[in-house]
Amino acid sequence: MRSGLKAAVPFLSHPRFEVIPTDSVEDAVVKWVPREVTVTVTTSPRKGLEATLGLTERLSKHGYRVVPHVSARLVVDEVHLEEIVARLTGCGVVDIFVPAGDTDPPVGSFESALSLLVKLDALGRPFPQMGITGYPESHPAISDDLTVQAMWDKRHYATYIVSNLCFDAATVRRWIRRVRARGVALPLYFGLAGPVERTRLLNMAKKIGVGESARFLSGHAGWFLRMGAPGGYNPSRLLDRTGVALADPVSIVEGVHLFTFNQVRQTEEWRQSVLASLALETRSESATQQ
């Protein structure tokens, strides 16, 4: 096994699978995803928070550790926030992910992730773990300076960072070094796209919403075109090229966050194949040493 991939394999033992709340995803998760895998549930302007909350409650009943996305711009006011907190704590949620969200204008009084994090702090920090987004590449609607400042401002409230999709290993490595050089010491989850098919991504993009699809495709047009070509995107290849940096203790990487685009079976099969390859290699090395 390649050295970078081997270094990153321990992160795959207890990863996070990100899913989108659709009608069929609950059954797919229950059928294919082991209970030791944390499941995160996205939210979007098109589906709203209710779809996220409902799926979170159902997956929690199935025994999963679920991390819902609570998009700040979809929260109406403090009363609405308290209702959300009550529902999530009521089903055992201890970890949420707080993005600003793409709703424009906001539906209520929260315009940023920071404003929601501040209010949650005033409510007594009902969730021990709270994640925020990191951007290895430029955000299509926010300048790099603002994303850097926002991460710095949110570090007092958040407990970890999840890196947004990036398909260039060198960019990921540089970004991790910059984050640590700025003094941001929050643990990091490396955001990695699973083995998604191009046609599947297009279908999911339609379900997510036209606006979000356009932003995603405009930001990753080159990668999207390469997906259908021979030798296109492969999560193992990207993980191999970033693995050594991820495993470096200085990077403070906590784990891998897999963007499944609801291809949970394919993502889990890929994960198991990598883990099996490592186990086989370890046994072979042990036999050779004996």
What is the full DSSP assignment across 78-131?
A: HHHHHHHHHHHHHTT--EEE----S-SS-SSS--SHHHHHHHHHHTT-SSSEEE
Output 82 or 141, whichever has higher pLDDT: 82
Output 279 or 88, whichever has higher pLDDT: 88
Which of the residue ranges 9-13, 181-185, 213-217 would you say has the lowest mean pLDDT?
Answer: 213-217
We report the CATH number of the domain holding residue 73 as 3.20.20.220
Do residues 72 and 106 make contact, with C-beta atoms less than 8 angstroms apart? yes
Do residues 77 and 108 make contact, with C-beta atoms less than 8 angstroms apart? yes
pLDDT at 232: 61
In which domain, by residue range, is 164 found? 3-289
pLDDT at 209: 46
**Tally of structural domains, the chain:** 1
% pLDDT > 90, the chain: 61
> pLDDT of 231-259, one tens digit each?
567 899 999 999 999 999 999 999 999 99
Global pTM?
A: 0.87
pLDDT at 212: 47
Q: What does the mean pLDDT of the chain come to?
A: 86
